[in-house]
Structure 1
Amino acid sequence: MNATAVEMASRGQLTVLNIGLVEHGAKEREHRLALVAGIVGRPGLESTKDLTRDEATKALRYLDLAEEVGEMQKLIDQYRPAVAS
């Protein structure tokens, strides 16, 4: 039986993903992980390095679309962690 190897996200995809999120205000790692986990449907994502190539592509396309239609800030705010007071 042949097991199909899952292709992991490339370093380039992860760089573009993380830099783009930071530029839009998701400066903390937990914030970026929450955003990406929500977009790709993987609750509990521990690292963007765990993304498959397909998941990274999905996240990048989703973020491009959100920016294109003017919803990026709303998306960033939706996943912003609560601040303890």
Structure 2
Amino acid sequence: MSTDTVEMATRGQLTVLNAGLTEHGAKQREHRLALVAGIVGRPGLNSTKDLTRAEATKALRYLDLAEEVGEIQELIDQYRPAVTS
């Protein structure tokens, strides 16, 4: 029997993740979820609260790298929801 437990993302991780995405222009919840789901490879992610600690770490590192190399805006735009009229 396995005693491994999955550690969920910390409140601090989720705060930094959501605040950072909002700061860079992903102001809608659906937009932030699409971004994070794409980064961590979890289509259909319903809430950032469902992220594991490892997934949150991966997303934060990916976003930091994108910002460092000047590609954060392209990433934000890539997952921007289509505007419907």
- For residues 11-64 of structure 1, the C-alpha deviation after alignment (integer angstroms, 9 at most, x for no partner) is 000000000000000000000000000000000000000000000000000000
Q: Which residue of 2 aligns with 1:46?
A: 46
Unaligned 5+ segments in structure 2 are: none
Could you tell me how far 1:3 is from its partner in structure 2? 3.4
Aligned-partner Cα distance in 1 for 2:51–2:72:
21
Which residue number corresponds to residue 37 of structure 1?
A: 37
Q: Please show how residues 4-83 of structure 1 align to structure 2 within 5 Å.
A: 4-83=4-83
Alignment TM-score, normalising by the size of structure 1: 0.98
Q: Identify which range, 2-11 or 33-42, moves more after superposition.
A: 2-11
Rounded to whole Å, the distance in 2 between the matches of 1:39 and 1:69 is 16
How far did 1:4 drift?
1.1
Give the number of equivalent residue pairs: 85
| Aligned equivalents of 1:3, 1:81: Cα separation in 2 | 40
For normalisation by structure 2, the TM-score amounts to: 0.98
After TM superposition, which residue ranges in structure 1, 4 or more long, deviate above 6 angstroms?
A: none
Separation in 2 of the partners of 1:23 and 1:53?
22
Unpaired runs of at least 5, structure 1:
none
How far apart are the structure 2 equivalents of 1:50 and 1:21? 17
